[in-house]
Homo-oligomer: A and B are copies of this chain.
Amino acid sequence: MMPHAAAATPQLLRRVNAQAVLRHIRGADVATGTELMALTGLTRASVIAVCEDLIGRGWIVELDQPRTVPANPRKGRPARRFAFNREAGFVLGLDIGAATTTAAVADLRGTVIGRSSESFRAADIPAQERIGVIDLACRQALEAAGTDPGTVLAVGAGIAAPVDRDGNVLVTQRFWSLFDVGLRSALKDLHGWTVLLENDANLAALGERWRGSGAGVDDLVVLLAGERLGAGVMESGRLLHGRGGAAGEMGYLDMVEGVGSSDGIAALARQWSAAGGGPSAGGPASAPRVFEDAAAGDAAALAILDRISERMARVIASIASLINPEQVVIGGAVAESAGALLPGITARLPRFTATPPRVTVSPLGDKIVTVGAIRHALDFVEANALELELAG
Which A residues fall within an 8 A CB radius of B? Answer: 1-2, 4-10, 12-13, 16-17, 20, 24, 35, 38-42, 46, 162, 165, 173, 218-219, 231, 233, 235-236, 238, 240-253, 255-256, 314, 317-319, 321-326, 351-355, 357
Given A6-B41, A249-B324, A318-B318, list of 18 further CB < 8 A pairs? A1-B38, A1-B39, A2-B39, A4-B38, A4-B39, A4-B41, A7-B41, A7-B42, A8-B17, A233-B322, A242-B325, A243-B326, A243-B355, A244-B324, A251-B321, A252-B321, A318-B322, A322-B323
Q: Which residues of B contact A318 (CB under 8 A)?
A: 253, 318, 322
Q: Interface majority SS on A: helix, strand, loop or mixed?
A: loop
Q: Which residues of B contact A7 (CB under 8 A)?
A: 17, 20, 40-42, 46
Q: Is the CB of A8 within 8 A of B4?
A: no
Query: A125 vs B317: C-alpha distance in the bound complex, in angstroms?
Result: 35
Output the least CB separation between A82 and chain B (Å): 16
Query: A118 vs B309: C-alpha distance in the bound complex, in angstroms?
Result: 49
Output the least CB separation between A235 and chain B (Å): 5
Q: Is the CB of B2 within 8 A of A8?
A: no
Q: Which residues of B contact A39 (CB under 8 A)?
A: 1-2, 4
Task: Answer whether A235 and B242 are a contact pair too, CB < 8 Å, given A12-B13, A17-B8.
Answer: yes
